Amino acid sequence: MSNNAFYVYGIVKFGVDLDLNEEGLTGKEVYLISRGKFSALVHNCIDKLYTDESPEKIKELIVSHNKILDKAMADFDGVIPLSFNTIIKKGKSSARFNLKKWLSDDEERLEKIWDKIKGKKEYGIRIYYDKDKLLEETSADREIKKIEKNIEGKSQGLSYLLQGKAKSKKQELFQNKVNGLKTEFYEKIKKVAEEIAINPSRISLEDEKDLLLGLSVLVEEKKVAQIKEFLEEKGGFSFHLAGPFAPYSFVQNGK
């Protein structure tokens, strides 16, 4: 096991080696290693991943990782974050050489990403709706009422068929309404944000069953108020705005 490895937090466009004057994971001193226009935020470590028996300790590590990224966002007007526990180690060459080589080889890609994220932060938006109310509205739809009226006085067999038709129509109308609402929120927020991404459904918390839409947005901080204002004005919904975060969701390619 070598002690010539670097834990890498993220990348900033700075180009000069510098102490960050901030403690990272387990109190390690964080500094910048630069090559060309870009600098990696690192601390010295051994080539072994951070882990711990204590779950609380691991949470602390994750929070420390993000504390460094927050500091970088403030000091350098942006940061390209790396995921937790990315460590570059030595091979035939030193870890420092490997890191600098990567900064150099990927400079064009980093430049594209930087142009996009500079001066912006990521927020998570979760929008909730009243599912029961929407179902009620669907049931009150004229088309549904018409089908239900037709059922009255019909034979058992025909009544069964019409009930099935009404149920399927209700589902279709309900889904259309949901999709319409999702599109409306998405389009409205997209106008303010630099970029927007729909969060995968893996975060579906049990006690928030009526989540309409989960989004990640890349946005200038001064424009966040506009998003909040729109969400607050739109009645019948509730929302949760999380962040700011380093722009994790918008740096995975150099487009």
Partner 1 sequence: MENDKIGIVELIDRTLNKGVILNADLIITVADVPLLAANLKLALASVETMMKYGVMNDWLSATGLEKKEENCLISPELFAKK
Q: What are the residues binding partner 1 (CB under 8 A)?
A: 1, 5, 8, 10-11, 47-53, 55-56, 58-59, 62-63, 65-66, 80-91, 95, 98-99, 101-102, 105-106, 110, 113, 122, 124, 126, 200, 202-208, 240, 242-243, 245-246, 248-249, 251-252
Tell me whether residue 49 or residue 158 sits nearer to partner 1 (CB atom).
49
CA dist., res. 182 & res. 22, Å (int): 41
Q: What's the token pair of residue 173?
A: 């109308």
- The least distance separating partner 1 from the CB of residue 100, rounded to whole angstroms, comes to 10
Tell me whether residue 113 or residue 147 sits nearer to partner 1 (CB atom).
113
Tell me whether residue 24 or residue 81 sits nearer to partner 1 (CB atom).
81
- The least distance separating partner 1 from the CB of residue 122, rounded to whole angstroms, comes to 7
- The least distance separating partner 1 from the CB of residue 241, rounded to whole angstroms, comes to 9
Tell me whether residue 31 or residue 123 sits nearer to partner 1 (CB atom).
123
- The least distance separating partner 1 from the CB of residue 105, rounded to whole angstroms, comes to 7
The three state secondary structure string of the chain is CCCCEEEEEEEEECCCCEEEEEECHHHCEEEEEEECCEEEEEEEECCCCCCCCCHHHHHHHHHHHHHHHHHHHHHHCCCEECCCCCEECCCCCCHHHHHHHHHHHCHHHHHHHHHHHCCCEEEEEEEEECHHHHHHHHHCCHHHHHHHHHHCCCCHHHHHHHHHHHHHHHHHHHHHHHHHHHHHHHHHHHHHCCEEEECCCCCCCCCCCCEEEEEEEEECHHHHHHHHHHHHHCCCEEEEEEEEECCHHHCCCCC
Among 92, 102, 89, 91, CA closest to 40: 102
CA dist., res. 229 & res. 216, Å (int): 17
- The least distance separating partner 1 from the CB of residue 244, rounded to whole angstroms, comes to 11
Tell me whether residue 20 or residue 215 sits nearer to partner 1 (CB atom).
215
- The least distance separating partner 1 from the CB of residue 164, rounded to whole angstroms, comes to 33
- The least distance separating partner 1 from the CB of residue 120, rounded to whole angstroms, comes to 15
Tell me whether residue 106 or residue 141 sits nearer to partner 1 (CB atom).
106
Tell me whether residue 166 or residue 224 sits nearer to partner 1 (CB atom).
224
